[in-house]
Amino acid sequence: MNGFMVQRGGMLCSIQDAGRKRLNDIGLSQSGAMDERSFGYANLLVGNAFNTPTIEIALGGASFIALGAMCIAICGADMSPLCNGKPLALWTTHQLQKDDILSFGYASQGQFAYLAIAGGFQTPFTYGSFSTSIKEGLG
């Protein structure tokens, strides 16, 4: 099984893609990644299509336990990511093994980081998007 168990949710983590487009007329906000460039690069680095869902980490403080071996990329804000206590570089790929602990400090530069895994996250597709919208209770 690929994915993560949330150990600590941090300030705010959510699943995001490029968002819902042209649905304001029915009262839905666009949602989607706050930093589309970092979101896109994270997916590119792990070989995903542009609109593959990622975890958007706002401000930091999150930690996750890997449920299996996987390839990841972290792009965006510098939250001093660690794998089992060892620093991970941003804007590159890393291999995680089952039970590895991926943790994030708090943002020293920027506000949003994106955690992508090869193959993406399996989440509900609602109104044309995988994105979480807290306001509308979607995702």
107-117 confidence digits (pLDDT tens): 998 999 999 99
In this prediction, residue 2 carries a pLDDT of 75
Q: What phi, psi does 20 have (nearest 5°)?
A: -90, 130
Give residue 86's Cα distance to chain centre.
Answer: 20
The answer to whether 70 touches 121, Cβ cutoff 8 Å, is no
pLDDT of res. 32: 84
Q: What six digits make up the tokens of 56?
A: 């958007």
Q: How far apart are CA 66 and CA 53, in angstroms?
A: 17
In 10 A of CB 138, how many CB atoms?
17
Residue 130: the pLDDT is 73
Predicted confidence band of residue 88 (pLDDT cuts 50, 70, 90):
very high
pTM over 0.85: yes
Say what the pLDDT of residue 108 is: 92
Most distant CA pair in the chain: distance in Å?
Answer: 47
Residue type, 21: K
20-31 residue pLDDT tens? 665 555 555 567
